């Protein structure tokens, strides 16, 4: 068994944090979302495709800050563009700088559905904004949803502190289950404002799914039939599956789409973009405002990130690296049959364990990911990973070897 990491400082800092911040750290970053006692809780720094924790342990990071790091940590060209803006012109004003217009024009150029855009700070901001716009445009109430859409009242899975009336008009359907969506619309269709869905299936703590033939197109047809706005939540797929998102990759164009994460390589930005006639609701019928939405640093970072993605053919290289990685992992999972399986696409994939009657899959999963983190491979047991541009061939090969060693450990310790 690989020796446990020295995490003395991280646990000391966590005890301190628990007296200052509820839970020590927020939400999905809490230790129970990893393997408690084995994973670090505080990072110190990152560079390229690697990060260091406050105890000095270094990891090849495949979580990529839960998705925003598409190129790599501390990308000098992006950071220098932002620093230049801070130093030479500033970024927080009473009025808007014209970088907003430059970014909106760029989205119009590369995203199939984009005609007008609204910029916000987070993915949750963007999905909530899209719902408000759809309801104003249609004059309807009900929302059909599929996928994770953030932490705001209408969509968050944990309902503590949220009155039922704030989500009682939200109806969920399963990814790739077009019949379920059709049944919901038979009941609520005449009062349905929007169908919001992830065009690529990445459910919480479960296998990732590509759309079955006709699924996305049928959802689009149903939206049109009932006069609802079709919204693609491209927070994770945008600027990753292709430069124009999953809608470009799969060839199905929604009415609206939301983007974030990879757009600015770690800088905080989200966007709602889509058909002009729908987006123009924000001119007067819908109020969207924040002191910080117009701050231009994220616009600068996004423009530079997109420039690099296009100029250096970043996504093409990420797909190549991801395919290499996934092909070899598939071979290992077949060789060491321990109930593990891989899902996803080359830019983002997930290793999970099949459920079994004895429930040993939970222990297998913990042991597998424990062996990985002890070998300096940072992946999450309940969330898919990502390939970024700065992951090197050496990183990939080391990780594949670590996965093999972790699978061998599981195979040797579980009879089933």
In whole angstroms, give the CA distance from residue 31 to residue 40. 8
Looking at residue 158, what is its pLDDT? 95
On whether both 320 and 278 belong to a single domain, the answer is no
Q: Which domain holds residue 17?
A: 8-73+314-413
* Residue 1 belongs to some domain of the structure: no
Looking at residue 151, what is its pLDDT? 97
| Domain final residue pick, 311, 331, 362 | 311
* Residue 3 belongs to some domain of the structure: no
Q: Number of structural domains, the chain?
A: 2
* Residue 385 belongs to some domain of the structure: yes
Q: 26: domain CATH number?
A: 3.90.1150.10
| CA proximity to 287, closest of 403, 413, 129 | 129
pLDDT tens-digit readout, 81-91 = 999 999 999 99
On whether both 345 and 244 belong to a single domain, the answer is no
CA distances to 42, 99, 125, 143, 310 from 151, in Å: 22, 28, 9, 16, 32
Written as tens digits, the pLDDT of the chain (416 aa) is 789 999 999 999 999 999 999 999 999 999 999 999 999 999 999 999 999 999 999 999 999 999 999 999 999 999 999 999 999 999 999 999 999 999 999 999 999 999 999 999 999 999 999 999 999 999 999 999 999 999 999 999 999 999 999 999 999 999 999 999 999 999 999 999 999 999 999 998 899 999 999 999 999 999 999 999 999 999 999 999 999 999 999 999 999 999 999 999 999 999 999 999 999 999 999 999 999 999 999 999 999 999 999 999 999 999 999 999 999 999 999 999 999 999 999 999 999 999 998 999 999 999 999 999 999 999 999 999 999 999 999 999 999 999 999 999 999 999 87
Q: 173: domain CATH number?
A: 3.40.640.10
On whether both 177 and 292 belong to a single domain, the answer is yes
* Residue 56 belongs to some domain of the structure: yes
Burial of 296 (0-12, 13-18, 19+ CB in 10 A): buried
On whether both 41 and 90 belong to a single domain, the answer is no
Looking at residue 415, what is its pLDDT? 85
On whether both 305 and 319 belong to a single domain, the answer is no
On whether both 290 and 365 belong to a single domain, the answer is no
| Domain final residue pick, 311, 330, 357 | 311
Looking at residue 2, what is its pLDDT? 87
On whether both 284 and 320 belong to a single domain, the answer is no
Looking at residue 109, what is its pLDDT? 98
On whether both 14 and 138 belong to a single domain, the answer is no
In whole angstroms, give the CA distance from residue 101 to residue 260. 17
On whether both 268 and 305 belong to a single domain, the answer is yes
DSSP string, 25-93: S-GGGSGGGS-TTTS-S-EEEEEBTEEEETTS-EEEESSGGGTT-SS-BT-HHHHHHHHHHHHHT-S--
Question: Alpha carbon 346 to chain centroid distance?
Answer: 15
Q: Please give the model's pTM, rounded to 2 decimal places.
A: 0.97
* Residue 2 belongs to some domain of the structure: no
On whether both 373 and 392 belong to a single domain, the answer is yes
Looking at residue 416, what is its pLDDT? 76
Q: Under DSSP, is residue 337 helix (H, G, I), strand (E, B) or coil?
A: coil
On whether both 48 and 97 belong to a single domain, the answer is no
In whole angstroms, give the CA distance from residue 238 to residue 223. 22
* Residue 48 belongs to some domain of the structure: yes
| Domain final residue pick, 294, 311, 328 | 311
- Is 265:305 a contact under the CB 8 Å cutoff? yes
On whether both 199 and 303 belong to a single domain, the answer is yes
* Residue 396 belongs to some domain of the structure: yes
């Amino acid at each position: 068994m690989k020796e446990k990491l020295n995490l003395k400082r991280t646990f000391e800092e966590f005890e301190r944090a628990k007296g200052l911040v509820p839970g020590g750290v927020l939400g999905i970053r809490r230790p129970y979302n990893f393997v408690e006692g084995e994973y670090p809780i505080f990072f110190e720094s990152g560079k390229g495709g690697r990060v260091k924790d406050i105890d000095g342990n270094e990891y090849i990071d495949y979580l990529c800050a839960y998705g925003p790091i598409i190129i790599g940590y501390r990308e000098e060209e992006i950071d220098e563009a932002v620093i230049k803006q801070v130093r030479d012109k500033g970024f927080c004003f009473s009025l808007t700088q014209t970088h907003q217009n430059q970014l909106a024009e760029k989205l119009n150029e590369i995203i199939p559905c984009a005609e007008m855009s609204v910029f916000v700070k987070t993915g949750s901001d963007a999905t909530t904004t899209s719902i408000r716009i759809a309801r104003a445009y249609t004059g309807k109430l009900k929302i059909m949803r599929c996928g994770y859409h953030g932490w705001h009242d209408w969509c968050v899975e944990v309902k503590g502190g949220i009155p039922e009336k704030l989500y009682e008009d939200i109806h969920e359907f399963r990814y790739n289950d077009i019949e379920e969506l059709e049944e919901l619309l038979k009941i609520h269709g005449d009062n349905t404002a929007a169908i919001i869905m992830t065009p690529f299936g990445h459910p919480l703590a479960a296998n990732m799914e590509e759309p079955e033939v006709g699924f996305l197109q049928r959802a689009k047809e149903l939206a049109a039939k009932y006069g609802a706005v079709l919204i693609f939540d491209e927070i994770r797929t945008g600027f990753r599956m292709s430069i124009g998102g999953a809608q470009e990759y799969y060839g199905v164009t929604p009415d609206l789409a939301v983007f974030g994460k990879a757009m600015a390589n770690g800088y905080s930005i989200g966007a709602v973009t889509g058909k002009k006639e729908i987006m123009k609701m924000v001119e007067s019928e819908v109020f969207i405002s924040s002191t910080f939405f117009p701050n231009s640093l994220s616009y600068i970072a996004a423009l530079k990130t997109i420039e690099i993605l296009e100029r250096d053919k970043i996504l093409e290289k990420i797909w190549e690296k991801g395919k290499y990685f996934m092909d070899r992992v598939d071979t290992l999972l077949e060789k060491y049959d321990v109930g593990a399986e891989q899902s996803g696409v080359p830019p983002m994939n997930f290793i999970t364990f099949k459920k079994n009657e004895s429930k040993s899959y939970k222990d297998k999963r913990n042991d597998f990911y424990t062996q990985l983190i002890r070998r300096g491979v940072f992946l999450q047991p309940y969330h898919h990973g990502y390939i970024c541009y700065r992951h090197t061939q050496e990183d990939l090969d080391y990780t594949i070897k670590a996965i093999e060693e972790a699978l061998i450990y599981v195979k040797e310790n579980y009879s089933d």
